[in-house]
Amino acid sequence: MNFKRLVLTALPAFFAVSLLANTADDTLQTDKKQEKIKKGFTFGAVPAVTYSTDLGFQYGLVVNLYHFGDGKSYPKYHHSLYLEWSRYTKGSGVNTIRYDSEYLIPKIRLTAELSYLTEQALDFYGFNGYEALLDESLSDDEDTAYISRMFYRMDRNMLRAKADFQGPIMEKKLRWMAGIEMSSIKTGDVDIEKLNKGKDAEDMLPDTSLLFEKYKKWGAIPADQADGGTTTLLKAGAIYDTRDNEPNPMKGIWTELQFLWAPSFIGNGDLSYSRIIFTHRQYFTLVPKVLSFVYRLSYQGKLGGTMPYYMLPFAYNTAPEYTRDGFGGNKTIRGVRRNRVAGDGVAFGNVEFRWKFYRGVVWKQNVYLALNTFFDAGMVLDKYEYTLDEAYRSEWEKFFPDTDESLHMGYGGGLHIAINENFIVAADFAKAVKKDDGNLGVYIGLNFLF
């Protein structure tokens, strides 16, 4: 990763740490005081600041509004409204509105989302993990094997709307879930001409064939899927939840089983399919209120039908987690490149220690700081099946070594800053174990991984 990008990406987290450090002398004594019970509305906000040579600066804002009612349920909120608006100077963007509440509909938790996401340089490494080659030299403009910095990239625009519901089966520990999610996805080649606008000659991207274009030419991506499509998913399942605190549990279990169905009769046509999602998370207290050990195991696989290639890179969870983009990356396998692990069936896991080393009241807000260290891993268990035009086999074999799939692994650590228990600014730094998965990952965002 470019050093300049590393520094600029980490700025929001270090700014927040400095802010708290500057007020520490006035607030250190508050460690022994009881936390303030929050009532009514509160909010947290963090700037979105990153940099990429090809995408430019990212600028924007993430805001989370909370309503705690009369405070009797604190730190559990009555209503949460999450808003994100951010842009890259070359055109990519995030536009998200998300609402979460157990009080709008009595005894039913509603989680609704509307997002429009644009990606001018979405990671694309092919299918089935190590079956496809990730050769950093092909995208390194200082290497003799260089093709393009965009070689492992594609273009994608996605409009997504969803509504998920949860209700009690046995008190609050066992719940049913149901929902509907609609995605309209448009995929295509990277717009090299647009990305080259305003660049000096030495920084210009070459107008050459990229991996995504090659997949289409080889027949690995069918012509009727190459431009994307629309998918409507129906969801049903059950959740067992004994966590003591939702944003960062110190003890308990959170296990979910989901069935996803994209039936032909609601617009999915020949690309109808079904999936099973099983995820188990467990939390252990090592030192009360201070140190915990947590882990997560998940399998997400196809049961039947024909799943389009553009629906492979999504990891599904129930609230308060959400549909995530990519196996690999900041919410699944840190350190490994996003979308590096793509197949019909993917398993992944995370183990993590979390240490809350400071608690206090800063500007009348309850604050704690936490460090974490982690190890993540995942792999394709069920391959995505595709066909190959034999006329291109010799070209194909240059990019596909005879390599068996195995674990993709990453490790690292990070810092989390929590305000009123629910708004948590997260900064994780991760390293891939194998060079075939990438190098260094820096992730600035919100909330603990799970």
Domain assignment of residue 376, given as a range: 3-446
Q: How many domains does the chain have?
A: 1
Instruction: Specify the CATH number for the domain of residue 71.
Output: 2.40.160.50
Residues in CB range of 401: below 8 A, 6 or more apart: 133
Q: Are 87 and 52 in contact (CB under 8 A)?
A: no
Regions of the chain with pLDDT less than 50: 1-33
List residues bridging with 307 in a β-sheet.
none
**Cβ distance 157 to 118 under 8 Å?**
yes
Q: How far, in Å, are 20, 320, 353 from residue 77 at the CA level?
A: 24, 12, 26
* Sign of the dihedral defined by the CA atoms of residues 56, 57, 58, 59, in that order: negative
> What is the token pair recorded at 94?
């995030």
Q: Which helix (H) or strand (E) holds 443?
A: strand 440-446
Where helices occur in 72-210 by DSSP H, the ranges are 192-196
Q: Please state the φ and ψ torsions of residue 224, each to the nearest 5 degrees.
A: -80, -5
Does the CA dihedral 359-360-366-368 come out positive or negative? negative
- Pair of tokens at residue 206: 């070459």
- Cβ-based neighbour number of residue 436 at 10 Å: 21
Asked if 45 and 62 touch (Cβ cutoff 8 Å), the reply is yes
Question: Which among 287, 246, 293 has a CA at the least distance from the CA of 424?
Answer: 246
Burial of 88 (0-12, 13-18, 19+ CB in 10 A): buried
What is the pLDDT, as a whole number, of residue 19? 38
